[in-house]
A and B are shown apart, each in its own frame.
Chain A
Amino acid sequence: MIKVILITGRSLDQGTSKSIGKFSKEYMEKLAICELDPEDLKSLGIESGQNVKIKTKYGEVIVKAIESKQAPHKGIAFMPYSMWANLLLGSSTNSSGMPTFKGIEADIEIVKEGKIMDLNELLEEKIGVI
């Protein structure tokens, strides 16, 4: 398990796959991910492409760990804006109007069981509809 600071943000893949469709295979492949520094992947003892569980005090999610092309950023995990990332965020804005989408403490661990849920599964499991 490693401790990281989670940053959510825009990515080129998010923008292009959004236009293909949010329920498309491409969207899930490009967004249900977490970009990690090569050294952090090494600390976890995993290869790029393996699944990890990310936990914050607000929630947890299983996504694919990807070696970051925008490194070095040891200790920082990047996830594109999406429902997968939002499972890890708190709703309070501290009276600012803006929830905290960046700079959140998180733990990352290897998962032996469990799979990455698709958007329909997230809507059913986490939102409770459909």
Chain B
Amino acid sequence: MKTINNVVCSFCGCLCDDIEVNIENNKIVNVKNTCSLGLSKFLNYDKHRILKPRIRKSKEFVNVSLEEAIDECVKILSNASYPIIYGWSNTSNEALRIGMEIAELIGGVIDNTTSVCHGPTIIGVQDIGESTSTLGQVKNRADLIIYWGSNPLHAHPRHLSRYTALSKGRFVKTRKERKIVVVDVRKTATASIADIFIQIKPNSDYELLSALRYAVNNGEIEQNEVAGVPVEKIEELAEMMISCKFGALMFGLGLTMSPGKHRNIEAAIALVTDLNKYTKFVILPMRGHYNVTGANNVTCWTTGYPFAVDFSKGYPYYNPGETTIADIIARGECDAALIVASDPISHLPIESARKLSKIPIVTIDPHETPTTKISKVVIPSSYVGIEYEGTAYRMDGVPLRLKKIVDPPDGIISDEEILKMILSKLRGD
């Protein structure tokens, strides 16, 4: 049995880098240090795999060679007038870099799943900037942690033990030295271990953030409650925020997906900016898929924009609400799609999923999903971080190298290699 240490887990944006994996006969037999999400991925990655490229001919799928699948993909992309290229948060930066070249070459729109997770966060940050840090700084220094619209015990199970409540920092060493606050519409699993839980009415985050800003700036709130929260509780929280040594506001999709969207994020960032008049305070988004932060970074390096980049004019053009995938599909404008490491049929509102199903889709993915089931062409790929190496960005923007720990099934290559083949064929090399 072979043991590989310091493996990076490719499930969520925490990218835990202390995983121990035991391998026997090219099979993962045991995994240590993961949460249940990582454990499930490492122990099940070899199930429900797609092992042959396939093309839909009339109603039935027919297995084809990789070259034939690539040719069909190139034909679909070349014939399209407004193709979309979407996904990327579950693959490597290296694969996305090739995807950017394809998008530019064919004049398509390239978007990543940020579009339906922290898109509003990016817009908020672009509008008014942010006070941020690494998770290491939070672990070592933060004595006040606020989770707002985020339930890490379900979405990022080791976030609390590695970086916040239960971590041993250099300067803040124990749980007793940290205060944990949870703001949510439900008393989540994370709320159950907080010092203070603030239950907020749905769709009223903006109001509560504004009230907190008012309290932080010494205003006297002339109401009994705001967003279902008694004013005394708001004032207590404002005082806790002002008097901490290093505070961190960690927010999730409770803020980005609720009405208000990027305005909610702007209000949260503005609150943190206000707090920096009194103390050190940072704000960090809780990013979901393991490399969604990387998708933003690579898109930024290459075009100057973080997601939803439209090349149809011959140069990069970015306007969320117009060039974002949800809007393009809802307007029925795209006429072909290349989907990489994503399952939009499962994750878009039904009307959009229906519209997407009417155009030819090429999907590159290791396993079967509702999107692969309705695609015109399906090209199976290997798992980055298990069967192929690559770089991914942790949720705080720290890039980490993912290892190859076992060989992929026979004939299965990586997203990066498949995309290189598509690009080469599109160029006519």
C-alpha spacing A113/B326, complex, angstroms: 34
- Within 8 Å of chain A (Cβ to Cβ): is B303? no
Q: Is B321 touching A96 in the complex (CB atoms < 8 A)? A: yes
Picked from B45, B115, B253, B329, the residue with its CB within 8 Å of the CB of A91 is B329
- Within 8 Å of chain A (Cβ to Cβ): is B400? no
Binary interface profile of A, 62-93, with partner B (CB < 8 Å = 1, else 0)?
00000011111100101001110011011111
Residues on B with beta carbons closer than 8 Å to the beta carbon of A100: 257-259
- Within 8 Å of chain B (Cβ to Cβ): is A49? no
User: Nearest chain B CB to A45's CB is how many angstroms away?
Assistant: 23
B contacts with A, residue count (CB < 8 A) = 68
C-alpha spacing A5/B202, complex, angstroms: 8
Q: Is A102 touching B351 in the complex (CB atoms < 8 A)? A: no
- Within 8 Å of chain B (Cβ to Cβ): is A43? no
Known A-B contacts A15-B155, A91-B330; A86 and B346 likewise in contact (beta carbons under 8 Å): yes
- Within 8 Å of chain A (Cβ to Cβ): is B374? yes
Picked from A22, A97, A101, the residue with its CB within 8 Å of the CB of B370 is A22
Residues on A with beta carbons closer than 8 Å to the beta carbon of B37: 12, 15-16, 19
Residues on A with beta carbons closer than 8 Å to the beta carbon of B157: 12
Q: Is A97 touching B357 in the complex (CB atoms < 8 A)? A: no
- Within 8 Å of chain B (Cβ to Cβ): is A123? yes
Residues on B with beta carbons closer than 8 Å to the beta carbon of A116: none
Residues on B with beta carbons closer than 8 Å to the beta carbon of A89: 349-350
C-alpha spacing A50/B41, complex, angstroms: 30
Known A-B contacts A96-B261, A102-B254, A123-B370; A19 and B40 likewise in contact (beta carbons under 8 Å): yes
Closest to A127 in B: B357
Q: Is B116 touching A99 in the complex (CB atoms < 8 A)? A: yes
Q: Is B186 touching A76 in the complex (CB atoms < 8 A)? A: yes
Residues on A with beta carbons closer than 8 Å to the beta carbon of B326: 91, 93, 97-99
Q: Is A91 touching B261 in the complex (CB atoms < 8 A)? A: no
Binary interface profile of A, 7-26, with partner B (CB < 8 Å = 1, else 0)?
11111100111111111100
Closest to A126 in B: B350
- Within 8 Å of chain B (Cβ to Cβ): is A46? no
Q: Is A21 touching B48 in the complex (CB atoms < 8 A)? A: yes
Residues on B with beta carbons closer than 8 Å to the beta carbon of A86: 346-350, 353
Q: Is B44 touching A119 in the complex (CB atoms < 8 A)? A: no
Binary interface profile of B, 163-204, with partner A (CB < 8 Å = 1, else 0)?
000000000000000000000011111010000000100110
Picked from A81, A101, A127, the residue with its CB within 8 Å of the CB of B345 is A127
Picked from B41, B330, B369, the residue with its CB within 8 Å of the CB of A92 is B330
Q: Is A102 touching B257 in the complex (CB atoms < 8 A)? A: yes
Q: Is B346 touching A10 in the complex (CB atoms < 8 A)? A: no
C-alpha spacing A25/B120, complex, angstroms: 34
C-alpha spacing A58/B350, complex, angstroms: 9
User: Nearest chain B CB to A25's CB is how many angstroms away?
Assistant: 12
- Within 8 Å of chain A (Cβ to Cβ): is B6? no
Residues on B with beta carbons closer than 8 Å to the beta carbon of A19: 11, 37, 40-41, 43-45
Known A-B contacts A98-B257, A130-B374; A91 and B368 likewise in contact (beta carbons under 8 Å): no
In residues 13-51 of chain A, which contact B (Cβ within 8 Å)? 15-24
Q: Is B354 touching A130 in the complex (CB atoms < 8 A)? A: no
C-alpha spacing A11/B40, complex, angstroms: 14
C-alpha spacing A120/B153, complex, angstroms: 31
Q: Is B187 touching A102 in the complex (CB atoms < 8 A)? A: no
Q: Is A9 touching B258 in the complex (CB atoms < 8 A)? A: no
Closest to B354 in A: A127
Q: Is A16 touching B202 in the complex (CB atoms < 8 A)? A: no
User: Nearest chain B CB to A117's CB is how many angstroms away?
Assistant: 12
Residues on B with beta carbons closer than 8 Å to the beta carbon of A10: 151, 154-155, 253, 288
Instruction: Return 17 A-B CB contacts under 8 Å, by A number.
Output: A9-B151, A12-B157, A12-B189, A16-B40, A20-B40, A21-B368, A23-B48, A24-B48, A58-B349, A70-B151, A70-B187, A97-B320, A97-B327, A99-B116, A102-B257, A123-B373, A126-B350
| In the A-B complex, the 6 residue pairs with the closest CB atoms | A97-B324, A21-B48, A95-B321, A97-B320, A89-B349, A19-B40
Can you add 20 more A-B contacts, CB < 8 Å, to A21-B368, A83-B370, A91-B352? A12-B37, A16-B36, A16-B40, A17-B40, A18-B40, A19-B11, A20-B44, A72-B186, A81-B346, A83-B346, A83-B353, A86-B347, A87-B350, A95-B321, A95-B327, A96-B261, A96-B321, A98-B116, A101-B257, A127-B345
